[in-house]
Amino acid sequence: MKRSHVRVFFVLLGITLLIAGGISPAQKKPLSATDLWKMKRLSATSLSPDGKLAAVVVTSYDIEKNQGQGDIWIIHTDGSGERRFTTGETTEGSPVWSPCGKWLAFTAQREGEKTQLQLISLEGGEAMELTDMPLGVSDPRWMPDGRSIIFSSPVLPGYEGELDSLKTELERRRKSKVTAKVTEDRFYRYWDHWLTDGYLVHLFRIDIESREVTPLMPGWDRHSSTSGGIEYDISPDGSQIAFTSLREGAPYDKLESDIYLIDTGNPGKVKNLTADNPADDFAPYYTPDGKYILYGRQKILDFYGDRVRLVRYHRKTGEKKVITESFDHSPSGWIVDEKNKTVFFHAGDRAMVSLFSVPLQGGEVREIFRGGTNRLVGILPGGDLIFMHQSNCEPDRICVVGKNGKGLRKLTSFNDDILSGIEMGRFEDVWFQGAGGAAVQMFILYPPGFDAEKKWPLLVLVHGGPHGTFGDDFHPRWNTQVFAAPGYVTALVNFHGSSTFGQDFTDAITGENGRKPFIDVMRAVDHILERGFVDERRMAVAGGSYGGYLASWIGTQTIRFACLINHAGVFDLCAQFGSDITSGRQRAYGGTPWEALENVIRWSPAHNMENYVTPTLIIHGEKDYRVPVGNGLEAYGMLKAKGVPARFIYFPDENHWVLTAQNSIFWYREFHAWLERWIGVGPED
């Protein structure tokens, strides 16, 4: 077997501290779940008009109180320092700079129960609350003249211009004793909440001086996205807004999205820019000169794994041109330089998220910076790129790099105090021969203190999606360093179906969810066993969502693993028609239960349980509408009925993810306890 290439990433964190007389290796400890929740997390960033400052939301968690709080920090982009800017008792978010650079607008909950739009001077002082929207405010953007701000807010159709009447209706609903939820829609709930109340997200404009609020989408009768938010951008002259919305409203039999245009001087006038494409169009962005709109396009309806093409639309001529047609990956977060010549973006590529550029007029896509996971790119005066960076051994930092990919420097140091006391495991990028002889990638994470002369237990992690990736990142929920820390060699397998390896590889499992991924995982294990440091009697597989499905499917096919862990996993493919999103399942499963039942149940763990004997930990949340909790209950019930050792953990207040600090720490503790019970910890003496 030929290996394409092997690249080893050595964890260098802490060397500088040691030289400076810091913490010695003997004093360091592996990363724990508690350490993970003590770290600050960075999110929304906004660059000032002159590029000298960046506002970033930094969230800290109080484990005892089981809650987090986000504050806005100001970062000097020349690397001269950082300072906390807001100190409110509630979370601040979505900071945006005024065109003059003297004001910062943001969202926060202050006086009332809902998050409202706030305005504060860069010189400091108390923030002014600008809005009193009945259902709160999100995603503010300044109009170019600096006199007004656009924001989004949920409303009931027909109440957009009658906010006092909307408050009255909301109060009536609050007092009602009727709790029934009624629908005739195909799309009626999303992730962890119901959509039957009829709220739709609309855009509004507020005049800063008069505080007058103007609805910009009167009569709009459909969801702007399945997630509940709204993507939009404002033209440089303020005359037009481009936004993404679903093409069809109730009963939402189809969920394709289009780009729509609003004339800000005539809000009732809306134009569909992308009606010619039967699949999704999204994420509009105006070039600085206002000449073009860039947006993303997919070609296959109801297939989220279809690669994204970056389209350039000429606003005067109507010409549309795909400028990344030869690029076999999916651009995201695109932005154009002030000279209107170059588009910068990030995209997943071979299990990492790298920075790229492409000429605005089209041409070759060029890789700028590779390594770890990089996103939220902006452009500084002079052309350097500012972005968020993380890797397997390092949480998010704000970094700067030249547009030629050279001169990387880090601007923030929020978690350096914690990281200086942590010993991270070594991370290795490996390729092996998978199903059909294809090259398949995985990362191997070696635990702290790893000695290749000893025999170690193996933990194989399989990602969700299935069109996702186990990447070089610092995941807040499935953190591989925490998994490996007690003493597990940990394999992160990017099997057939994974994204970032080209469209053909992503689409290779359509109609047969379990076949190639199963083969790939088995061959990944064989590859590691050939190296001689894993005890084949002490191996486990764990995964979440589709990864939980694959863990269960592995249990139906082999007894080579000592235990399995299934978090929020799909178990019964027929039952997934109770998911919040049912579009696209016919394509993924190779048919429907009413037309091709044999195709569906061929790859359904629930219908192939005869040989399943492997001890399994099953974890599920009640508010998981993506993989409804019945999947977990059915899996646990079948295993117990068969006499297979099984343990069930149920979170009544969590969704597809475990998001609260104490539940998360408990989750990791149970995860590790199950592994220790069946495969032990560390090498055997």
Mean pLDDT score across all residues of the chain: 94
**What single letter denotes the amino acid at residue 105?**
A
337-351 residue pLDDT tens: 999 999 999 999 999
Q: CB of 649 within 8 A of CB of 548?
A: no
301-353 residue pLDDT tens: 999 999 999 999 999 999 999 999 999 999 999 999 999 999 999 999 999 99
Predicted local distance difference test score (pLDDT) of residue 26:
66
Nearest CA-CA partner of 72 in 54, 48, 50 = 54
510-559 residue pLDDT tens: 999 999 999 999 999 999 999 999 999 999 999 999 999 999 999 999 99
Separation in Å, CA 564 to CA 347, 471, 481, 559? 32, 22, 19, 10
Q: CB of 420 within 8 A of CB of 411?
A: no
Predicted local distance difference test score (pLDDT) of residue 127:
92
Residue 312 corresponds to which tokens in the numbers above?
């350039």
The span from the CA of 202 to the CA of 262, in Å, is 12
- Reading across the β-sheet that carries 257-263, which strands appear in turn? 232-234, 240-246, 257-263, 266-272
Exposure string (b/e) for 320-346, b if CB count within 10 Å is 16 or more?
beebbeebbbbbbbbbbbeeeebbbbb
Predicted local distance difference test score (pLDDT) of residue 25:
61
HEC string for 326-379: CCCCCEEEEEECCCCCEEEEEEEECCEEEEEEEECCCCCCEEEECCCEEEEEEE
What is the fold, at CATH topology level, of the domain defined by 419-679? Rossmann fold (3.40.50)
The span from the CA of 260 to the CA of 272, in Å, is 5
CA 462 remoteness from chain centre: 17
Residue 324 corresponds to which tokens in the numbers above?
């990344």
The span from the CA of 473 to the CA of 422, in Å, is 17
Please report, rounded to a whole number, the percentage of residues in the chain having pLDDT higher than 70: 96
Report pTM. 0.93
Q: Tell me what the mean pLDDT of segment 430-437 comes to.
A: 97
Rg (CA), the chain: 26
Instruction: Give the three-class secondary structure for 389.
Output: strand
163-206 residue pLDDT tens: 999 999 999 999 999 999 999 999 999 999 999 999 999 999 99
The span from the CA of 115 to the CA of 140, in Å, is 12
203-237 residue pLDDT tens: 999 999 999 999 999 999 999 999 989 999 999 99
**What single letter denotes the amino acid at residue 456?**
W
Q: Tell me what the mean pLDDT of segment 361-372 comes to.
A: 96
Residue 88 pLDDT grade (very low, low, confident, very high; cuts 50, 70, 90): confident
582-627 residue pLDDT tens: 999 999 999 999 999 999 999 999 999 999 999 999 999 999 999 9
Among all chains, which residue has been given the structure tokens 């709109």? 293
Rounded to 10 degrees, the C-alpha dihedral 332/337/340/344 comes to -30
Instruction: For residue 607, give the DSSP letter.
Output: G
The span from the CA of 335 to the CA of 292, in Å, is 12
Residue 269 pLDDT grade (very low, low, confident, very high; cuts 50, 70, 90): confident
270 bridge partner residues: 262
Predicted local distance difference test score (pLDDT) of residue 22:
52
Q: CB of 365 within 8 A of CB of 327?
A: yes
Q: CB of 322 within 8 A of CB of 311?
A: yes
